[in-house]
Amino acid sequence: MTIRSLLVANRGEIAVRIVKAAKALGIRTVQVHSAADADMLAVRLADEAVDIGPPAAKKSYLNIEAVIAAARAAGVDAVHPGYGFLSENADFADAVEAAGLIFIGPKGDAIRLLGDKVAAREVAARAGVPTVPGSAGRVSSIDEARDGVAQAGFPIMIKAAAGGGGRGIRIAADMADLDRHFPQASSEALAAFGDGGLYLEKVIGKARHVEVQILGDGKNFIHCFERECSLQRRRQKVWEEAPSFLLPADVREKLCASAVALAREVKYSGAGTVEYLYDEDSREFYFIEVNTRIQVEHPVTEMVTGIDLVQEMIRVAGGAPLSVRQEDVALRGHAIECRINAEDPARGFMPAPGTVRRLVVPEGEGIRFDTMLYEGYTIPPFYDSLLGKLVVWAETRDACLDRLRSALRGLVIDGVATTVPLHLALAADDSVRRGDFHTRFLEGWLDEVFARQAQPKAEVA
């Protein structure tokens, strides 16, 4: 069935992105919003808008009944969940189908299976994808945890089976740490994710976070190469690139093939991301998880492959086969994305909502700014602090970094503190230019380099 209308069950910059993709496909758009979001940009751009409840996400964007009722009332064919919120909620995907509508994403069963990070490790192993050494399955007691350590050794990571967004992860350096952290981690996971299940993974030191974009239609499975997302704070990505520039060609080939094998194993449908840690010294990569949705950093892949991932996931959900064949997916040039958050990096990344007094968006070849902002917009304090993503493309990584610096200087967001100064400093950093970084790099750099540079503000640019 062709999708003629869809409901956008999300907010912020990704809602804008989905509305624009749907419009390009000639699809009518209905945008949901909470009471705090009546004036958000996606509401202004969509054909229709529906108020689904109070500001608290639990009562609006996470309220399955309210979202389904809005979809029914608006008479749409399909629902796009974006990222975060209900995007990886298998019950939601099932409820959308049960209401006779199309869920734009994988089947509920695939979300359920891959969303359990322990079950996903088993799927990966079945598909021949190397996983991080660790516990065989869930560890439900401290004794089982001790057994898990025997497999992997210290330091070890205690991870929540249902975790996400960088939360639900702890490191234990020795047995005493493990004894102390284990019960706490379990009760925290239960409170945060409704599932106290834990598993253990060896800590891969100085690793890079490399992830592969996959697309499937249930019969054909392809990859759109990889992204490098090692610049992280609190295990959340801050800056992403495509491709992963230091990856040897033979490793890239194996890595991407392993992601396709995993997609085939579950007959994947839609867009997804297979995440890995890559150890440059041993040239080994290890599966960590699958995200069964569009990802925040998808634009860098779009810039280097020319594929519109959001349009493709809508087409596939409507029953069309993939519009691209593997042999047609080629890499061209280099792309970098900076996440622009309403946070003040000079004040410990304190959230800084406010009103945008003036907005100047840089323009030019290879520059894209995916955003929820407009002049006069007041950022509500209830949600994620992501305001937009500055994405820059050029033929080479060096040229991309140069273009990024000028684009960042040209981006003016007056009225709110943002992470732009952080990105300017990163774009000017020698280690970043050499590509000499890993997943723990940014936190150390923030303490040493950025703290020094942040003092006299003029030095940052």
* Catalytic residue of the set 17, 28, 208, 293: 293
From the list 270, 257, 223, the residue with the least C-alpha distance to 242 is 223
Q: How far is the CB of 83 from ligand ADP (least distance, A)?
A: 5
Q: Which helix (H) or strand (E) holds 211?
A: strand 208-217
From the list 187, 186, 241, 184, the residue with the least C-alpha distance to 209 is 241
Quick check: is 293 catalytic?
yes
Indicate the residue among 77 and 297 with the shorter CB distance to Mg ion.
Answer: 297
Compute the distance between CA of residue 395 and CA of residue 407 in angstroms, rounded to an integer: 16
Tokens 């309210």 correspond to: 66
Task: Please give the DSSP secondary-structure letter assigned to residue 416.
Answer: S
Determine how β-strand 5-8 pairs with β-strand 78-80: parallel
| From candidates 54, 137, 164, 380, binder to ligand ADP by CB under 6 A | 164
Q: Contacts with Mg ion in 246-305 (CB under 5 A)?
A: 275
Compute the distance between CA of residue 300 and CA of residue 294 in angstroms, rounded to an integer: 12
Q: Residue ranges of the alpha helices (H) in 141-284?
A: 142-152, 175-193, 249-265
Determine how β-strand 358-360 pairs with β-strand 412-414: antiparallel
The answer to whether residue 369 forms part of the interface with ligand ADP (CB under 6 A) is no
Q: Is 322 in a helix, a strand, or coil?
A: coil
First to last CA, the chain: 52
Q: Residue 171: CB partners within 8 Å, gap ≥ 6? A: 155, 156, 157, 158, 177, 203
Residue, CB closest to Mg ion: 275
Compute the distance between CA of residue 273 and CA of residue 294 in angstroms, rounded to an integer: 8
Look at residue 296 and give the partner it binds from Mg ion, ligand ADP, none, a contact being a CB closer than 5 to 8 Å depending on partner kind.
ligand ADP
Handedness of CA 312, 266, 223, 80 (dihedral sign): positive
Compute the distance between CA of residue 290 and CA of residue 274 in angstroms, rounded to an integer: 5
Q: How far is the CB of 116 from Mg ion (least distance, A)?
A: 14
Indicate the residue among 209 and 223 with the shorter CB distance to Mg ion.
Answer: 209
Indicate the residue among 439 and 453 with the shorter CB distance to ligand ADP.
Answer: 439
Compute the distance between CA of residue 44 and CA of residue 65 in angstroms, rounded to an integer: 24
Q: How far is the CB of 318 from ligand ADP (least distance, A)?
A: 23
Indicate the residue among 288 and 317 with the shorter CB distance to ligand ADP.
Answer: 288
The answer to whether residue 289 forms part of the interface with ligand ADP (CB under 6 A) is yes
Binding pattern for the stretch 197-236 against ligand ADP, x by CB under 6 A and - elsewhere: ----x-xx--x-x----------------------x--xx
| From candidates 210, 266, 277, 314, binder to ligand ADP by CB under 6 A | 277
Look at residue 226 and give the partner it binds from ligand ADP, Mg ion, none, a contact being a CB closer than 5 to 8 Å depending on partner kind.
none
From the list 298, 276, 315, the residue with the least C-alpha distance to 224 is 298
Q: Contacts with ligand ADP in 165-194 (CB under 6 A)?
A: 165-166, 169, 193
The answer to whether residue 370 forms part of the interface with ligand ADP (CB under 6 A) is no
Look at residue 96 and give the partner it binds from ligand ADP, Mg ion, none, a contact being a CB closer than 5 to 8 Å depending on partner kind.
none
Q: How far is the CB of 370 from ligand ADP (least distance, A)?
A: 13
Size of the site for Mg ion (CB under 5 A): 1
Indicate the residue among 275 and 337 with the shorter CB distance to Mg ion.
Answer: 275
Indicate the residue among 293 and 403 with the shorter CB distance to ligand ADP.
Answer: 293
Summarize as ranges the residues that interact with Mg ion (CB under 5 A): 275
Q: Active-site residues: which are they?
A: 293
Summarize as ranges the residues that interact with ligand ADP (CB under 6 A): 83-84, 132, 157, 163-166, 169, 193, 201, 203-204, 207, 209, 232, 235-237, 275, 277, 288-289, 291, 295-297, 384, 439
